Amino acid sequence: MYLALFLTPWMVGYATSTLLMNHQAGRPVVFMRESEQPYNTSFESGTPPRVVAGQILSDLDLEGTFGVAPSPDGKLTITRQDIVAPWRITFYPSDHRLTIERARADAVGFLYRFHRRRGYEPPYAADRAMAFSVDLVIVAMVFWALSGLWMWWEMRVTRLWGLACGVLGIALFSFFAFAI
Amino acid sequence: MSFLYLVRRTHLYLGLFLLPWVIMFGVSSIPLNHNNPTSPPAWTTVTDVPFSAAVPATNKAEDLRGVGREMMNAAGVTGGFYVNRPNPRQLNVHHPKFLGSTRLFYYIDEKRLVAERQAFAPRMFITGLHTRGGYTLGGFWDSMWAVFVDLVSIGLLLWIVSGLIMWWKIPGTGLRRWGWIALASGAVCFTVIMLRL
């Protein structure tokens, strides 16, 4: 019970985001221009795009998990993940210029990003904490299922209908898993 | 029948009915959260036949579904599918299946249809159960699976609400106090993590 109460925000987030994803409610992220500024740091040719992007984010005080997409014309597009409102920074090396854009915060986008955020790869404390919380939710879901089974078995009066519900659920799930 | 009785029984029977999905969504999150690189699954060619169909001059998936269905029929595959056109000379169809998906390639210039079957891979099976959803595939049973995904989501919300009601109805101030502490600390941890992510 206490574990369930502690994990209530996560479970509300996963349930609502699953509903939205199942109905394709997501929309492309709309970025709004925040600022444009000169950027005079020069990089040796051949510097890996991730190194350049990391330096730019560090200079902007925006360190965190990011993706980077270089263009043939030298332009570098950096997407700095932010679960509420992601950033997009574009570096134009020939102009020594940066444009900084931020996504408009919206509930649907937040829930999509929340649902998909996982993994221990990013070296940041918040990402690790999120990944740990995902593991906690996993353990909790299995624990609730097993403890629920035990509590049901302890209530003799519910055994028959409970068994019917359980068998029907297992039969339907097995059919789906093997047939589609 | 009291309100609390109804809440308890709904909580219990819905839980027992949806138990396989709850365990599946929990267990299948493990490979997603611990993403160890694995070799891609093997695909085996099962059909390579002459094929010809009129292809609309568009890249829109909804306009390509008709020819996609023709490709599925020609390859003897039934069920839901995705269709896309990666280049003007090729049309791809993907028919997802938990035990092993099928993909079809229509090489328009060559008037040739190739079907490949994916080998069973436990990891793909488990993560496929987790990620499959939506009503756009077009197959009846695929849509029924999406209904169950909706049902599990609504079930989760009902378990949360009924769980809160059952906690609140437990007599004694100690359990309620500790419950408040658990609820508040969860909300604080969640907020802090979200603001830092």
Span B76-105, pLDDT tens digits: 999 999 999 999 899 999 999 999 999 999
**Structure confidence at residue B3 (pLDDT):** 84
- A13 close to A114: Cβ distance less than 8 angstroms: yes
Backbone angles phi, psi at A86, to 5 degrees: -65, 155
**Structure confidence at residue B155 (pLDDT):** 94
In angstroms, what is the C-alpha Rg of chain A? 23
- Whether B129 has its CB under 8 Å from any CB of chain A: the answer is yes
Average pLDDT over residues A28-56: 90
Contact A178/B154, CB-based, under 8 Å?
A: no
Measured distance CA(A140)–CA(A153) in Å, rounded? 20
**Structure confidence at residue B64 (pLDDT):** 92
Model confidence band, residue A146 (pLDDT cutoffs 50, 70, 90)? very high
Measured distance CA(B40)–CA(B119) in Å, rounded? 10
Model confidence band, residue A102 (pLDDT cutoffs 50, 70, 90)? very high
Contact A8/B144, CB-based, under 8 Å?
A: no
E runs forming strands in A39-111: 66-70, 76-80, 87-92, 97-103
Q: Residues near A92 by Cβ (< 8 Å), separated by ≥ 6?
A: A74, A75, A98, A99
Contact A9/B190, CB-based, under 8 Å?
A: yes
The alpha-carbon gap from B81 to the nearest alpha carbon of chain A, in Å, equals 11
Residue B88: CA count within 13 A, CB half-sphere? 1
Q: Name the B residues in 163-182 with CB < 8 Å from any A CB.
A: 163-164, 167, 175, 178-179, 182
Per the structure block, which two tokens stand in for B86? 């990666």
pLDDT in tens, B107-164: 999 999 999 999 999 999 999 999 999 999 988 999 999 999 999 999 999 999 998 9
Measured distance CA(A83)–CA(B195) in Å, rounded? 8
Measured distance CA(B39)–CA(B32) in Å, rounded? 15
Nearest-CA neighbor of A53 among A65, A36, A35, A40?
A65
Q: What residues of chain B lie within 8 A of the CB of A158, using their CB?
A: 9, 12-13
- DSSP character at residue A105: P
Model confidence band, residue B38 (pLDDT cutoffs 50, 70, 90)? confident
Model confidence band, residue A46 (pLDDT cutoffs 50, 70, 90)? confident
Nearest-CA neighbor of B91 among B101, B102, B78, B104?
B104
Model confidence band, residue B68 (pLDDT cutoffs 50, 70, 90)? very high
Closest alpha carbon within chain B to A136 = B26
Contact A15/B153, CB-based, under 8 Å?
A: yes
Residue B91 burial (10 A CB sphere; 0-12, 13-18, 19+):
buried
Closest alpha carbon within chain B to A174 = B20
Q: Residues near A76 by Cβ (< 8 Å), separated by ≥ 6?
A: A49, A52, A53, A56, A68, A69, A70, A90, A91, A93
In angstroms, what is the C-alpha Rg of chain B? 24
Residue A61: CA count within 13 A, CB half-sphere? 0
Per the structure block, which two tokens stand in for B193? 């993590």
- Whether B120 has its CB under 8 Å from any CB of chain A: the answer is no
pLDDT in tens, B152-197: 999 999 999 998 998 888 887 677 888 999 999 999 999 999 999 8
> How many residues would you count in chain B?
197
- Whether B114 has its CB under 8 Å from any CB of chain A: the answer is no
Interface test with A, best of B144, B190, B191, B195 (most A CBs within 10 A): B190
- DSSP character at residue B48: E
pTM summary value: 0.88
Measured distance CA(A107)–CA(B185) in Å, rounded? 23
- Whether B108 has its CB under 8 Å from any CB of chain A: the answer is no
- Whether A132 has its CB under 8 Å from any CB of chain B: the answer is no
**Structure confidence at residue B172 (pLDDT):** 75
- Whether B190 has its CB under 8 Å from any CB of chain A: the answer is yes
